[in-house]
């Protein structure tokens, strides 16, 4: 591990809850936590307290998750000052004298502008400004963050192409794969109780059900093939669960632990990615694409740019946008599954070297090369009240 990372802590600001879905931030930051202290500062939770407090806990991956709790009746103009104070208190209490700052969201800037890290990194994993409910200020905040950042990563090639002119030190790092974990899906594993009685053929999807998921497409596919069964795994956010299509051959199993995903995958006949084609999916690079492939599952997706290239171009994933095309491609994919030795060989050749560990090492090397900002160790001289609640929320 490089010396820069060994001698500096990492303070991360994210719009994603650590315990929500195990994805890009968790894969990368868990690896950082092996070599340095990592503090993952989440968005605030309102209520459950009569004064601003910070709940700090350590995850199984040795990441310190900091959740700010603010009173439900706090005035809007007091939110940013309260968060700024909690950040300062975290730095004081944990003695973060030398640290780098890593942003997943530009919206953390208003309460972190005053920080003096040795380096600033922006991991632009999604185009957040195009997501449902994104505030107009996000665009301005991102422009400011790009000026402030010493190093920028992007979550895929399409978002890199759209952003590369905006920063002098920007690098594309598409979704990687925990191959050993997901390749277990090729084995005959003991099926989970909520899936074992679902008839075959099974076509599965796991992920977040939000504005990026094409509910109408799933409804139409299920209607065209009532003999197929669709296993839908994951939480529903930002959309009304009642808008999800209901049918006897569509099975919603809810959110599952990351460790359990191969157990579900092993019992599928085909994986599907029926994403909507809208602003929120214009630049996505679905992590599940290499995961489905590592599990040895033939896969059909709508024409998401970062799926079409390279996966579609290399004939690793079938591409379809209408219900009729989807049914045709799924039928073909499941037939090909019986003669998939060559396909699996191509999959493994493509995935070789595309691990999260390799991505982490390449990112760390780029961070090591950053010029270290020289500054005096800044100590907060005032007496800081003890508001960090270790072990539980208040």
Quick one: pLDDT at residue 390? 39
Quick one: pLDDT at residue 262? 97
298 neighbors 333 (Cβ within 8 angstroms): yes
Q: Which residue, 106, 144, 101, is CA-closest to 124?
A: 106
The average confidence (pLDDT) of the chain is: 90
Cα dist from 235 to 10, 74, 249, 374, whole Å = 29, 29, 19, 44
- Residue located via tokens 């609640």: 389
Quick one: pLDDT at residue 116? 95
Quick one: pLDDT at residue 13? 98
Place 2 in a pLDDT band, splitting at 50, 70 and 90. Answer: very low
Quick one: pLDDT at residue 392? 41
- Residue located via tokens 């299920």: 222
Asked if the model's pLDDT at residue 131 lies above 80, the reply is no
- Domains along the sequence of the chain with CATH: 3-176+356-390 (3.40.50.2000), 179-351 (3.40.50.2000)
Distance CA 10, CA 20 (A): 21
Lowest mean pLDDT among 127-136, 218-227, 237-246, 337-346: 127-136
Quick one: pLDDT at residue 99? 96
306 neighbors 158 (Cβ within 8 angstroms): yes
Residues 207-241 have pLDDT tens digits of 999 999 999 999 999 999 999 999 999 999 989 99
384 neighbors 94 (Cβ within 8 angstroms): no
Distance CA 85, CA 29 (A): 24
Average pLDDT over every residue of 92-96: 96
146 neighbors 122 (Cβ within 8 angstroms): yes
Q: Please report, rounded to a whole number, the percentage of residues in the chain having pLDDT higher than 70.
A: 90
For residue 259 the two structure tokens come to 């460790």
> What one-character DSSP code corresponds to residue 227?
T
Residues 6+ apart with CB under 8 A from 200: 229, 269
Place 315 in a pLDDT band, splitting at 50, 70 and 90. Answer: very high
For the entire predicted model, the pTM comes to 0.87
Residues 152-164 have pLDDT tens digits of 999 999 999 989 9
Residues 11-59 have pLDDT tens digits of 999 999 999 989 999 999 999 999 999 999 999 999 989 999 999 999 9
Quick one: pLDDT at residue 377? 39
13 neighbors 108 (Cβ within 8 angstroms): yes
Cα dist from 58 to 33, 87, 130, 166, whole Å = 11, 17, 32, 36
Asked if the model's pLDDT at residue 265 lies above 60, the reply is yes
Sign of CA dihedral 32, 38, 43, 46: positive
Distance CA 270, CA 249 (A): 15
């Amino acid at each position: 591990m490089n010396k820069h990372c060994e001698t500096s802590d990492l303070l991360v600001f994210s719009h994603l809850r650590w315990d929500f879905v195990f994805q890009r931030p968790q894969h990368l930051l868990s690896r950082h936590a092996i070599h340095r202290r990592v503090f993952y500062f989440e968005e605030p939770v309102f209520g459950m307290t009569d004064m601003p407090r910070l709940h700090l806990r350590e995850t199984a991956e040795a990441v310190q998750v900091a959740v700010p709790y603010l009173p439900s009746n706090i005035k809007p103009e007091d939110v940013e000052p309260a968060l700024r104070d909690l950040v300062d208190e975290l730095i004081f209490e944990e003695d973060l004298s030398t640290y780098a700052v890593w942003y997943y969201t530009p919206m953390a800037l208003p309460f972190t502008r005053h920080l003096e890290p040795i380096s600033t990194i922006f991991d632009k994993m999604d185009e957040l400004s195009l997501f449902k409910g994104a505030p107009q200020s996000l665009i301005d905040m991102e422009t400011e963050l790009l000026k402030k950042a010493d190093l920028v990563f992007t979550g895929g090639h399409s978002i890199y192409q759209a952003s590369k002119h905006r920063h002098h030190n920007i690098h594309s790092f598409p979704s990687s794969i925990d191959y050993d974990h997901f390749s277990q899906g090729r084995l005959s594993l003991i099926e989970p109780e909520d899936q074992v009685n679902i008839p075959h053929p099974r076509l599965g999807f796991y992920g977040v059900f939000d504005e990026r998921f094409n509910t109408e497409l799933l409804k139409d596919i299920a209607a065209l093939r009532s003999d197929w069964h669709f296993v839908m795994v994951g939480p529903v956010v930002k959309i009304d669960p009642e808008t999800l299509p209901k049918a006897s051959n569509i099975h919603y199993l809810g959110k599952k632990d990351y460790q359990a995903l191969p157990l579900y995958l092993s019992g599928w006949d085909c994986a599907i990615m029926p994403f909507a084609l809208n602003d929120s999916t214009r630049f996505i690079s679905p992590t599940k694409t290499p995961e489905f492939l590592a599990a040895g599952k033939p896969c059909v997706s709508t024409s998401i740019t970062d799926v079409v290239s390279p996966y579609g171009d290399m004939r690793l994933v079938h591409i379809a946008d209408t219900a009729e095309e989807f049914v045709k491609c799924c039928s073909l994919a499941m037939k090909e599954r019986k003669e998939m030795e060559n396909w699996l060989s191509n999959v493994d050749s493509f995935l070789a070297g595309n691990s999260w560990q390799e991505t982490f090492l390449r990112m760390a090397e780029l961070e090591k090369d950053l010029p270290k900002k020289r500054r005096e160790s800044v100590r907060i001289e005032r007496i800081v009240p003890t508001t960090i609640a270790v072990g539980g929320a208040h």
